[in-house]
């Protein structure tokens, strides 16, 4: 039986897991490594600490299995940037997280001066900022990369400097050509980014080097962005298959394979194109839609409002009522992403009466997140003209029965719940297996997909009426901070 080590670097923590060739997790370790926010809008992380914790978690989990692993897969939060000294292997300063907003003005200027549609959650302006604002970089031999680059460098003890096409795409970084064949030299020149410090961009599966920092020096055979890993881990590898990962935020990804898009810009209905994997130098394409806050709303109920003691209690409290009593909640604590992209929208609670109880509010929050998920589905269908037969989900909220049933009701789709909370681990393990020949093709994962359970829509629910009320609620939440609502990246 083949086994694979997966290192998964998330936004607030990292995981190391050993996964076998049935895609079952054999051993698992977790380490907390939250980013810091020195002031509002700034999100930084300690790349050296992430490297140390990754090695510690990997070595710990490997010590708990009897046989050596056949390959290593790396998956990670995308667009976050690290710059380090090639000679010493030490970061030159904090890495900038994908949520960091310090380069909003640079994005606005790039559009005004060059017509480039760039967003602050892309890597390009983050890297520009680090190079322009870190002292004493002149004359140093530097490396830069996304977190897959940094972990691969760490595991190979400075031998390999690579990134894969899903992490270093035109969509994610803004630095590559849309077809993934080369660099945007005009952007590199305008942003004063030397090509020499950038990684070699490789396929998502295939051996790139050996992890000499680990026992047995297993080959590193997969690099992939977290959402693409989750898409693959949930078996969504055919056109028209889609998943939503519901963590702090929510990400819908859908395989389209319609060929290389003309531009990396957002589509009409608010999704945007991105490569979902690369094999043999060929990119397979999909689309992505974003909900800016999902689980954040449950944290708000727990930590700020005190309406629940634990995240899990949201189901128990919501179950105390059969409906929300006319209460509607728009989960726009950080604005609205797909399809509206209104950064000035704000969370809105509507329909309160003297009879509104705690359970109504908690249920309304869960149902509001379900409605926002349905918005992502509707946008994906509208942008691709492809209907979905089912929806697959993972992430913490996938374990909430009230939410899952509400999602089935408002989408009108069967909702298949992933067998593990974080399907990223399964996707990265599968790609590592493809990279060393355990599986020959991404389509082989079809036979391995087995949902924990499936929720079907309640036929007594008037979905059209619910969605009409929801559309009305969205208009109330929109444009609350006009200056932010005017931003368009």
Q: DSSP for 26-93? A: EEEEEEE---B-SSTT--EE-HHHHHHHHHHHHHHHHTTSSS--SEEEEEE-SS-BEEEETTT--BSS
Q: How large is the average pLDDT for residues 254-275? A: 89
Question: CA–CA separation, 251 vs 144, rounded Å?
Answer: 26
* Per-residue model confidence as pLDDT tens digits over 9-29: 998 899 999 999 999 999 999
Residue 257 has pLDDT above 90, yes or no: no
Same domain, yes or no: 49 and 190: yes
Question: For a pLDDT cut of 70, what percent of the chain falls above it?
Answer: 100
Do 463 and 488 fall into the same domain? yes
CA dist list (Å): 423 to 14, 311, 449: 14, 20, 11
Count: domains in the chain: 2
Quote the Cα angle for 119-124-127, to 5°: 125
Asked if the structure places residue 279 within a domain, the reply is: yes
CB count within 10 Å of CB 280 equals: 7
For residue 277, what pLDDT band results from cuts at 50, 70 and 90?
A: very high
pLDDT at residue 440 in the model = 93
Q: Are residues 190 and 252 in the same domain?
A: no
Looking at the domain assignment, is residue 307 inside a domain?
yes
Instruction: Clarify whether residues 159 and 220 are in a common domain.
Output: yes
Residue 434 covered by a domain:
no
Answer whether residue 258 shows pLDDT above 80: no
Say if 25 falls within a structural domain. yes
> What was the pLDDT predicted at 264?
82
Half-sphere exposure at residue 16, Cβ-oriented, CA atoms within 13 angstroms: 24
Chain-wide mean pLDDT for the chain? 95
Distance in angstroms (rounded) separating the CA atoms of residues 431 and 436: 9
Question: Which H or E run contains 146?
Answer: none
Q: Is 350 a member of any domain?
A: yes
Tell me, yes or no, whether 442 lies in a domain: no
Are residues 54 and 157 part of one domain?
A: yes
Tell me: do 196 and 250 sit in the same domain: no
Domain co-membership, 96 together with 124: yes
Of 211, 228, 245, which one is at a domain's C-terminal end? 228
Q: Which residue has the tokens 């509206």?
A: 340
Look up the CATH number of the domain holding residue 350: 3.30.420.40
Instruction: Indicate whether 50 and 197 sit together in one domain.
Output: yes
Whether the CB-CB separation of 380 and 271 falls below 8 Å is answered with yes
For residue 215, name the pLDDT band (cuts at 50, 70, 90): very high
Q: Does position 4 have pLDDT exceeding 80, yes or no?
A: yes
Predicted confidence (pLDDT) at residue 342 exceeds the cutoff of 80 = yes
354: pLDDT strictly greater than 90: yes
pLDDT in tens, 24-73: 999 999 999 999 989 988 999 999 999 999 999 999 999 999 899 999 99
| Closest residue by Cα to residue 294 from 244, 255, 328 | 244
Same domain for 204 and 323: no
Strand, coil or helix: what is 46?
Answer: coil
Per-residue pLDDT band for 470 (boundaries 50, 70, 90) equals very high
Residue 472 structural domain: 236-417+459-489
Mean pLDDT of 326-340: 95
Show which of 201, 228, 255 is a domain's final residue: 228
Are 69 and 205 contained in the same domain?
Answer: yes
Q: 51 with 150, same domain?
A: yes
Domain assignment present for 274: yes
Same domain, 168 and 280: no
Residue percentage of the chain with pLDDT more than 90: 92
Q: In this predicted structure, what is the pLDDT of residue 487?
A: 87
Last residue of a domain, one of 228, 257, 272: 228
C-alpha–C-alpha distance, residues 436 and 281, integer Å: 16
User: pLDDT band at residue 320, thresholds of 50, 70 and 90?
Assistant: very high
Query: How far is it, in rounded angstroms, from Cα 342 to Cα 329?
Result: 17
The reply to whether 405 falls in a domain is yes
Q: Tokens representing 429? A: 């393990």
Q: Are strands 272-279 and 328-330 parallel, antiparallel or unpaired?
A: unpaired
Q: What pLDDT score was predicted for residue 488?
A: 84
373-414 pLDDT, tens digit each: 999 999 999 999 999 999 999 999 999 999 999 999 999 999
Q: What value does the mean pLDDT take over residues 267-285?
A: 94
């Amino acid at each position: 039986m083949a086994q694979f080590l997966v290192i998964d670097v998330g936004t607030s923590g990292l995981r190391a897991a050993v996964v076998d060739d049935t895609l079952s997790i054999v051993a698992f370790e977790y380490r907390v490594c939250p980013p810091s926010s020195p002031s509002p809008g700034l999100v930084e992380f300690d790349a050296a600490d992430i490297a140390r914790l990754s090695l510690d978690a990997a070595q710990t989990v490997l010590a708990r299995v009897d046989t050596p692993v056949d390959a290593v897969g790396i998956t990670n939060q995308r667009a976050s940037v690290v710059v380090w000294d090639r000679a010493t292997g030490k970061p030159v300063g904090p890495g900038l997280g994908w949520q960091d907003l310090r380069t909003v003005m640079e994005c606005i200027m790039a559009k005004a001066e060059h017509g480039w549609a760039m967003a602050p959650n892309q890597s390009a302006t983050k890297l520009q900022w680090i190079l322009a604002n870190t002292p004493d970089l002149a004359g140093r031999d530097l490396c830069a990369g996304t977190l897959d680059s940094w972990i691969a460098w760490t595991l190979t003890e400075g031998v390999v400097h690579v990134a894969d096409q899903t992490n270093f795409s035109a969509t994610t970084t803004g630095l590559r050509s849309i077809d993934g064949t080369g660099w945007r030299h005009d952007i590199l020149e305008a942003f004063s980014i030397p090509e020499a410090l950038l990684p070699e961009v490789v396929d998502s599966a295939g051996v790139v080097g050996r992890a000499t920092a680990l026992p047995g020096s297993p080959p590193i055979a997969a690099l992939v962005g977290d959402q693409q890993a989750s898409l693959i881990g949930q078996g969504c590898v055919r056109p028209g298959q889609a998943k939503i990962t519901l963590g702090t935020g929510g990400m819908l990804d859908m395989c389209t394979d319609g060929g290389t898009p003309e531009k990396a810009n957002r589509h009409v209905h608010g999704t945007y194109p991105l490569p979902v994997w690369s094999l043999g130098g060929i990119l397979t394409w999909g689309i992505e839609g974003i909900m800016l806050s999902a689980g954040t709303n449950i944290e708000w109920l727990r930590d700020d409002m005190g309406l629940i003691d634990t995240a899990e209690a949201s189901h128990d409290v919501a179950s105390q009522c059969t409906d929300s009593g006319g209460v509607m909640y728009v989960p726009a604590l950080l604005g609205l992403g797909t399809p509206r992209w209104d950064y000035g929208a704000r969370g809105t609670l509507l329909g309160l009466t003297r009879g509104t109880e705690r359970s109504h509010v908690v249920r309304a929050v869960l149902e509001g997140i379900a409605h926002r998920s349905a918005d992502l589905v509707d946008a994906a269908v509208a942008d691709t003209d492809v209907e979905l037969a089912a929806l697959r989900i993972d992430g913490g909220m996938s374990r909430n029965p009230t939410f899952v049933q509400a999602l089935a009701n408002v989408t009108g789709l069967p909702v298949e719940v992933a067998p593990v909370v974080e399907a990223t681990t399964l996707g990265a393990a599968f790609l590592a297996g493809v990279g060393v020949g355990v599986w020959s093709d991404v389509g082989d994962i079809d036979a391995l997909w087995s949902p924990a359970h499936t929720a079907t829509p309640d036929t007594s629910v008037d979905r059209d009426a619910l969605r009409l009320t929801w559309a009305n609620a969205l208009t109330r939440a929109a444009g609350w901070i006009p200056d932010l609502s005017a931003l368009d990246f």
